[in-house]
Structure 1
């Protein structure tokens, strides 16, 4: 399966993962890779994180209004916006004829009280807005940078929970329409992002079963970020490698280099072990993104990861459910 086929199979792609696994970086890389296939991509950011736009050269935090991030020579593009529960609630009330009431709620500070009074309402309103955007057909692919795994599970199950509470009325109708979107694999999929380390892999495995069993959302491949890769030079002594280049190394410095190489090989071994465990315990394709030796993710790094991700999709083994 190539990336175009996968991305076009569903409109909404929700990326979730434990904090610190590089979910936002992966979101940017996935969006860039899709744009390189000639697709119109909209990134939706839910946690008001400033770093998503930075890798595109957009320094300002994303807001409710859509911003342009990238045009690709293939005709694809990347736009982005943020959606907060309060913004979604205001728009929902305005759309239902409560503009005057909305202004009063904002001025009195009661808007937040109302949003928090019904469990799950905030998440349902955000998902409802995403559903509306998907229906408007302004993008071929919508990539959602979702909250970290713990909140993401609440986020994905909120609509079903709200349906149990609200037996009728517009709130139930909104929740029902959200559940319909989430459980339709032709409209929505979840992509798990993790690291090749014991705890993140364990949490990804647990999250995968929860996403399908509790939320009823179909899963795409698991994307493993920051994978350590063994290079041939790591298996050579630093003195031998230096000699081949006509360089003389201080013995103490050579020992330090050999220790660093041994440490890196150990990291590679751990990564391989965890990748094998992930493939054994989850019936899902696993895609690998390399660890980049860069202090920050800018445009160049994002493009590198996008190219690798595209190649990973082209060689992806295993059928998606």
Structure 2
């Protein structure tokens, strides 16, 4: 059963690199904010991809975050800053924590243990989801996480389960269990896979969905297929390329290119559309999930209004998506 995305509290967006998951994240957030929600977008990588899409030319948002549009705040979680915040909450000795984290040897030790970054990052997400503006009113209505690409994304989201399985008791297990409970909660959380209707992204998406179902147990109810070619010809002209090929290749129509060149372009568009439709069906069949199609945009989504327009498609439950 699918629900409107705005009914969730937390959405993780992931997909093979190059599928446009950051654009999907930004579009979803922009549309939700335009609809009146207070939205937080969280980036977890070292590079900020979302701010240039929403507010080009601005300074980095960093760990502190910044409101880039009405109702839309963006931040990039810095694992060391998140770790410092966590330790201060637990120990209360800010000066000691800052001294320890600034120690070169400690940093070298932490850099040799990359798994802690994923755990502390998810812990920060959990903390942000629980923040309240006042009792009973969350600070953010919706949190959208631009999660790592498919390979690292699975490892990233699996860290709480691994810790819970390995640690029998204590604060680490307790906090990891709280994070795992959040990301597996079907009422609050959703994983949104993003694919392209091409061979490799399709294969990775099918594998991702299977892994999530078998091991991660994070709720999913749709797949976003991005950059899908539109039908190249209007009704009644489906065989335009074939008709053009019957003409002499050098035949011209005013200032247009020769008939043969138009036929080649028309044939390419027709083949591309058929290819996309085939992989789109394959994703739906092999994942048993509804597919939400986002169109290929020649110039991309170049401003927040274009992003919000793209995101409106995502807000509609898949059974009603066009």
Q: Same fold (TM over 0.5)?
A: yes
Question: Deviation at 1:310?
Answer: 3.8
Distance 1:142 1:154 in 2: 20
2:25 to 18, 24, 27: 27
Distance 1:155 1:101 in 2: 29
Distance 1:239 1:277 in 2: 31
TM-score (norm 1): 0.86
Residue 103 (structure 1) aligned with residue 98 (structure 2): yes
Does the CA contact (< 8 Å) of 2:31 and 2:307 recur in 1?
no
Gap change, CA 1:23 and 1:303, over 3 Å in 2:
same
**Once the two structures are superposed, what CA deviation does each residue of 1:32-72 show, in whole Å capped at 9, x if it has no partner?**
2222332111100111333311221243333111211222x
Question: Deviation at 1:290?
Answer: 0.2
Distance 1:149 1:131 in 2: 21
SS for the counterpart of 2:50 is helix
Return 227-236 or 174-183, whichever deviates more.
Answer: 227-236
Does the CA contact (< 8 Å) of 1:49 and 1:61 recur in 2?
no
Distance 2:158 2:106 in 1: 23
Distance 2:271 2:292 in 1: 21
1:228: which partner in 2?
229
Distance 2:113 2:153 in 1: 18
Distance 2:36 2:256 in 1: 53
1:86: which partner in 2?
80
Distance 1:250 1:227 in 2: 27
**Once the two structures are superposed, what CA deviation does each residue of 1:186-218 show, in whole Å capped at 9, x if it has no partner?**
121100001011110111011011112211111
Distance 1:146 1:280 in 2: 25
Does the CA contact (< 8 Å) of 1:86 and 1:115 recur in 2?
no
Question: Deviation at 1:174?
Answer: 1.5
Does the CA contact (< 8 Å) of 1:120 and 1:162 recur in 2?
no
5+ residue gaps, structure 1, are 72-76, 241-245
Does the CA contact (< 8 Å) of 1:15 and 1:23 recur in 2?
yes
Does the CA contact (< 8 Å) of 1:119 and 1:162 recur in 2?
no
Q: How many residues align?
A: 304
Does the CA contact (< 8 Å) of 1:292 and 1:301 recur in 2?
no
Residue 51 (structure 1) aligned with residue 49 (structure 2): yes
SS for the counterpart of 2:36 is coil
Tell me: higher relative CO, structure 1 or 2? Use CA pairs within 8 A at least 6 residues apart.
Answer: 2
Does the CA contact (< 8 Å) of 2:224 and 2:294 recur in 1?
yes
Tell me the C-alpha RMSD between the 2 structures: 2.6
Gap change, CA 1:114 and 1:165, over 3 Å in 2:
farther
SS for the counterpart of 2:24 is helix
1:243: which partner in 2?
none
SS for the counterpart of 1:167 is coil
Distance 1:92 1:55 in 2: 31
Gap change, CA 1:161 and 1:310, over 3 Å in 2:
closer
Distance 1:141 1:250 in 2: 50
Does the CA contact (< 8 Å) of 1:21 and 1:195 recur in 2?
yes
Distance 1:301 1:275 in 2: 24
Gap change, CA 1:37 and 1:300, over 3 Å in 2:
closer
SS for the counterpart of 1:175 is helix
